[in-house]
Structure 1
Amino acid sequence: MHELILLRHAEAVPIETSGDDQQRPLSTRGQQEAQAAGRWLASHGVRPGRALSSPARRADETARLALAALSDAPALQLAPEIYDASPGELLALLDQYGEPGTVMLVGHNPGIERLVALLVEGRSDEFRGMPPGALAVLHLDGALEPGNARLDAFWSP
């Protein structure tokens, strides 16, 4: 892969409302954030060739709403290992999809924000935070390794 889109799931309803963290749906605001993320990707010509998402409802909904804004969007693949993953676990998953092109990964914090830091800064403790619905577009300068990416864009609703 030469480009990576990391998208944190948009705002979800509080866990007290749903009772099960895996089944928390997006809030109305979260639905709007996910749609806005998709519009941002479309308006900037960022098109994933592959899309991976945590199976948690809020991530799945975020991914589907964002992809709906894109023409010729890839089919969404759910990857259970994204839920509650560390940056190293996310890196190992992405390493399985090393073909050239653009991959979008939709997941959760702290894993997503720490993965951005690991790929750009070479250290996962240098993260700056990603609010719900935020996305980072990274360009990889060679192999998928710590410190080997450039942050090309960051967007937050």
Structure 2
Amino acid sequence: MHELVLLRHAEAEIDSPDGGDIGRALTERGRRAAHAAGQWLLGHGVQPVRVLCSPASRTRQTLEQIQAALGTAETLIAPEIYEATPGELLALLDNHLDAGTVLLVGHNPGLERLVALLLEGRSDEFRGMPTAGIAVLHLDQALEPASARLNAFWSP
């Protein structure tokens, strides 16, 4: 993997019909922001080979809104993304090093802490991934703390 694209799900409803967090759906504003994220990916030529997505409703709905930008990317629902720590996300990504560009659609605080870990070598108290935010990281070497360079960042 030489490029890692992290996309936080778009804005979601506070509650879900079943009362559980995993079933929370996108708001209308969230759908628009997710669509805009897809347009940004398309406009900047970010072309993932593989997409890893949390099973939560809001991440899957975010993924649906950016589908046009993904082309023929292989898409996998990865339950381990939901509520993952940066270390757990790294362990998952280690299984996908064969893909040149990977897009991971997930949640905070895991995503923002993963960005901090890969850029700065630490993951404590980092804040920086708004809903529908995208971080494009370039990797010159293995997935290790402080091994990435931020190529682009976008938020709606």
TM-score for the superposition, normalised by structure 2? 0.95
Q: 1-side partners of 2:19 and 2:127: how far apart?
A: 29
Q: Report whether the alignment pairs 1:19 with 2:19.
A: yes
Q: Report whether the alignment pairs 1:109 with 2:99.
A: no
Structure 1 unmatched runs, 5+ = none
Alignment RMSD, CA only?
1.4
Structure 2 unmatched runs, 5+ = none
Question: Could you tell me how far 1:24 is from its partner in structure 2?
Answer: 0.6
For 2:89, the equivalent position in structure 1 comes to 90
Q: Name the aligned partner's letter for residue 50 of structure 2.
A: R
**Over residues 113-157 of structure 1, what are the superposed CA-to-partner deviations in whole Å (9 max), with x where a residue is unaligned?**
000000010101262321110010000021111100000111000
Q: Secondary structure at the match of 1:106?
A: strand
Q: Is the 8 A contact 2:16 2:23 kept in 1?
A: no
Percent of residue pairs bearing the same amino acid type: 62
Question: Could you tell me how far 1:72 is from its partner in structure 2?
Answer: 2.0
Q: Secondary structure at the match of 1:125?
A: coil
Aligned in 2, Cα 1:130/1:18: closer, same or farther, shift over 3 Å?
farther
Q: Report whether the alignment pairs 1:130 with 2:132.
A: no
Q: 1-side partners of 2:23 and 2:132: how far apart?
A: 17
Q: Is the 8 A contact 2:53 2:104 kept in 1?
A: yes
Q: Name the aligned partner's letter for residue 19 of structure 2.
A: G
Question: Could you tell me how far 1:70 is from its partner in structure 2?
Answer: 1.6
Between stretches 144-153 and 12-21, larger displacement belongs to: 12-21
For 2:42, the equivalent position in structure 1 comes to 42
For 1:2, the equivalent position in structure 2 comes to 2
Question: Could you tell me how far 1:20 is from its partner in structure 2?
Answer: 1.5
Q: Name the aligned partner's letter for residue 91 of structure 1.
A: L
Q: 2-side partners of 1:64 and 1:75: how far apart?
A: 14
Q: Is the 8 A contact 1:83 1:108 kept in 2?
A: yes
Q: Name the aligned partner's letter for residue 107 of structure 1.
A: G
Q: 2-side partners of 1:131 and 1:104: how far apart?
A: 17
Q: Is the 8 A contact 2:16 2:24 kept in 1?
A: no
Q: Number of residues paired by the alignment? A: 156
Q: Is the 8 A contact 1:64 1:76 kept in 2?
A: no
Aligned in 2, Cα 1:84/1:47: closer, same or farther, shift over 3 Å?
same
TM-score for the superposition, normalised by structure 1? 0.94
